[in-house]
């Protein structure tokens, strides 16, 4: 799979009979995603959105799935992810919010040992317009194009993608990395892929307060990325020590501030927009 997913990606949904799983699997199918199976123990005689339900991931192997969306309650996420990893699913996206980060650490290391891509938890997923959408991003905001977007937030991504599309741009890949302190894919991981992707000409990074992944991305861009990169950072007005909605969005002991991230991006030649809707202007 070039660029994580493509038109041939076959997706299973773990937790397809839940409120989120039911609604979003339907939207994914409308987008054109090949949703080949749903998992929900004890409901294997049923279908959701025309998709057959199975008791276990192992039962779906004859369908050759290569990606899973996990939308089960937080206490069960680790088990669901281990099940997908053990079955050899190549890309795992966790939608669920409030997963304990000790669980995410274990999931991440089990996945990386087997070269499995982990996206999330607590993000909107991945979309490649015209090919595949795994996750909860609204279908109507996208247009196929050459701008790649990676973001730590959901609605803010939609706001920016909407602004891009309205300004005549289109998107090659949009990835939500997730709002938790520990997540799978990071800015550097996706920058490597976007930098090599012939469909991508320009890159937008949407960061927020907390951690130092934006600073590390800035350093990586300075030395490795030839394509134009612009950014937005949320949380400039956030008080220290408070979690701003996302578990990972917190300024701790002076680390993780918006100023530090903006400064790092600027020193790498990456312009940072004051307002999310200014992103299209910076891409010109």
Q: What are phi and psi of 145, to 5 degrees?
A: -170, -155
Binds another protein (CB under 8 A): choice among 67, 136, 262, 272? 136
Position 236 contacts another protein (CB under 8 A):
yes
Interface residue with another protein among 57, 81, 204, 209 (CB under 8 A) is 209
Site string for another protein, 82-121 (x = CB under 8 A): ----------------xxxxx-xxx-xxx--x--------
**Least distance in Å: CB of 59 to another protein?**
28
Q: Minimum CB separation from another protein for residue 11, in Å?
A: 19
Quote the least distance from Cβ 194 to another protein, whole Å: 20
134 binds another protein (CB under 8 A): no
Among 73, 62, 69, 33, smallest CA distance to 50 is for 33
| Alpha carbon distance 173, 131 (integer Å) | 10
153 binds another protein (CB under 8 A): yes
| Cβ proximity of 15 and 74 under 8 Å | no
179 binds another protein (CB under 8 A): yes
Between strands 171-176 and 125-128, the pairing is antiparallel
- Within residues 38-67, the interface with another protein by CB under 8 A covers none
Residue 93 β-bridge partners: 69, 119
In three state form, how does the secondary structure of 107-174 look?
Answer: HHHHHHHCCCEEECCCCCEEEECCCEEEECCCHHHCCEEEEEEEECCCHHHHHHHHHHHHCCCCEEEE
Among 151, 200, 257, 260, binds another protein (CB under 8 A): 151
246 is annotated as an active-site residue: yes
For the purposes of burial, counting CB atoms within 10 Å of the CB of 196, is it exposed (0-12), middle (13-18) or buried (19 or more)?
exposed
Pick between residue 63 and residue 156 the one whose CB is nearest to another protein.
156
Q: Which residues pair with 171 in a beta bridge?
A: 147
Interface with another protein (CB under 8 A), residue from 32, 130, 170, 245: 245
CB of 54 to another protein, least distance (A): 26
Q: Half-sphere exposure of residue 235, counting CA atoms within 13 Å on the CB side? A: 29
Return the number of other C-beta atoms located less than 10 Å from residue 227's C-beta: 15
From the list 40-48, 56-64, 79-87, 270-278, the region that binds another protein by CB under 8 A is: 270-278
Q: What is the contact surface with another protein in residues (CB under 8 A)?
A: 23, 74-75, 98-102, 104-106, 108-110, 113, 136-138, 140-141, 151-159, 162, 179, 181-182, 186, 206, 208-213, 216, 232, 234-239, 241-249, 253-254, 258, 274-277
């Amino acid at each position: 799979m070039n660029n994580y997913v493509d038109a041939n990606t076959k997706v299973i949904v773990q937790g397809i009979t839940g409120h989120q799983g039911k609604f979003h699997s339907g939207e994914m199918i409308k987008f054109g995603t090949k949703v080949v199976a749903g998992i929900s123990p004890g409901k294997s005689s049923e279908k959701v959105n025309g998709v057959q339900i199975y008791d276990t991931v192992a039962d779906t192997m004859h369908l050759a799935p290569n990606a899973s969306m996990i939308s089960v309650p937080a206490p069960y996420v680790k088990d669901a992810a281990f099940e997908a990893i053990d079955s050899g699913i190549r890309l795992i996206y966790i939608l669920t919010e409030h997963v304990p980060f000790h669980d995410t650490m274990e999931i991440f290391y089990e996945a990386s040992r087997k070269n499995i891509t982990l996206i999330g938890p607590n993000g909107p997923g991945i979309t490649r317009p015209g090919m595949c959408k795994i996750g909860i991003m609204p279908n109507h905001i996208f247009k196929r194009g050459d701008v790649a977007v990676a973001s730590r937030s959901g609605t803010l991504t939609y706001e920016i993608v909407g602004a891009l599309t309205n300004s005549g741009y289109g998107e090659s890949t949009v990835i939500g990395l997730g709002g938790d302190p520990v997540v799978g894919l990071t800015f550097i991981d996706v920058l490597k892929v976007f930098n090599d992707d012939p469909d991508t000409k320009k890159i937008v990074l949407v960061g927020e307060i907390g951690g130092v992944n934006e600073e590390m991305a800035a350093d990586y861009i300075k030395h490795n990325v030839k394509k134009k990169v612009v950014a937005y950072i949320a949380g400039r007005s956030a008080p220290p020590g408070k979690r701003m909605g996302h578990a990972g969005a917190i300024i701790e002991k002076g680390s993780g501030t918006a100023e530090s991230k903006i400064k790092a991006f600027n020193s790498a030649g990456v312009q940072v927009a004051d307002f999310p809707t200014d992103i299209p202007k910076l891409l010109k």
